[in-house]
Amino acid sequence: MSIQFFSLRLEESPKAILTAINAIFMTKSAFFIVIIRVILIASNKTLICKELYDLLYKMVALREQALHKKRNCSTNERDFIMMNLPLNVDFSGKVVVITGATGQICSAMVRAFAQCGAKVAAMGRNEAAVKKLADEVKADGFICEGYTANVLDKEALEAAHQQILADLGPCDILVNGAGGNNPRATTDNEYHHEAWEGCQTFFDLEPDAVDSLFKLNVQGTLLPVQVFAKDMVEKQSGCILNISSMNAFIPLTKIPAYSGAKAAISNFTKWLATHFAGSGIRCNAIAPGFLISAQNKALLFNEDGTPTARSTKILNGTPSHRFVEAEEMLGATLFLCNDKSASAITGVILPVDAGFSAYSGV
C-alpha cells in the first residue's frame, strides 16, 4: 500500500487547495491513503481543518462510487474503497463479532465497522461467502477475518470464539445478524376468508418449519450471546446489538411465525439489557423497515417492474412512501454501538423504517 503525504498551507488560495486535492485523487495507484497536513503558518502546531477533512471525505466517496458501480469484481481488480458513512466514529482496537455477516444488512455493517477501525470477525454458515467478504474488506486495507459457524451449534460457536480470541482478541461488540423467514411457515393468503383452492393457509403451516424458524431467530441470538458475552462480563464492558423487525411492533399478515420470533427478539433485548446492566454491558436492537432484496424482490415487484399489491400496501403505509436501504441501518448501528454517544442507552429497539411504525394509516 503506497502512502502519499501532501502538505497544504492555509496561505494558499482555496482554489489551489482544491486543485491539489483533486490531483491526489487522480493518482493511478491501486491503493492509497491520503494524509493532508494543514500547517498554520503563525504557529508550530499541525492542525486538521474540518472543512478540508469533510471535503476530502466527500471526494473520496464520490470517486469510489464512480469507480465501483459493480462491487462483485475480483480482489485484484478492486481499488481502495471508502463507504460514505453517516457518522465519524472511531472503533479502533475494538473487536466486533457479526453473525449472519454475509446478509444484505450485516455485510454493510462488516464494512462499516472495519472502516471505523474495528477488528471485525465476520461469521456465517457459508464458508466461501464469508471468506470472500473478509478478503474484500482486507483488500480495502482494513482488519477482517471470516469464520464459519452455525449459530445453532454451540460447539461450533465456542470453537469460533477460541479462534477469534487467538486472531483478534476478546469480543467488545456482538451484532446478532443471523435470522430469517421460512416459506413453509408463511401463508399464501392474508385473510382466511380469502383462501383459494391449493393455497397454503394457516392450517397448513408445518410445525417443524415454525420450530426451525423460531430456533434460527431466537436461539440463533441467544447462543452467540452465551458464548461471546463472557468476554464482556470479564472486562465489565461491551455492547450487544440485535436485529428486530417491523413485525415486532405490529405483526404483518402471512408471516405469523416470523412476526412472533422477532417480537421475541425485542423482548429478549430488553431482558438482556436488564440482566447485564450491572456488568457494564449495553444491549439494544434495530428494527429495519422494508428493504428490497433478492429474496423478496419477486414479492414486491411484478415482472414489468411495477409494485405488487403487497408492495403498494407497504408504501402506502410508509409516510416517506419508499423502501429503506441496507446502508441506512449504519447510522443507528454505529450510534448504538458507540459507548460515547450511547453510554446511557440500553434496552431500546430503534426503528429504521422511514416512518412505517409511526403511521396509523389515517
Residues marked active site are found at 258
Please tell me what DSSP assigns to residue 215: I
Q: How many Å apart are CA 294 and CA 159, to the nearest integer?
A: 31
- Three-state DSSP at 45 gives coil
Cell of 352: 429504521
CA atoms within 13 Å, Cβ hemisphere of 359: 17
Contact 312, 321 (CB under 8 A): no
Q: How many Å apart are CA 270 and CA 233, to the nearest integer?
A: 17
Q: What is the DSSP string of 230-290?
A: HHHHHHT-EEEEEE--GGGTSPPTT-HHHHHHHHHHHHHHHHHHHHTGGGTEEEEEEEE--
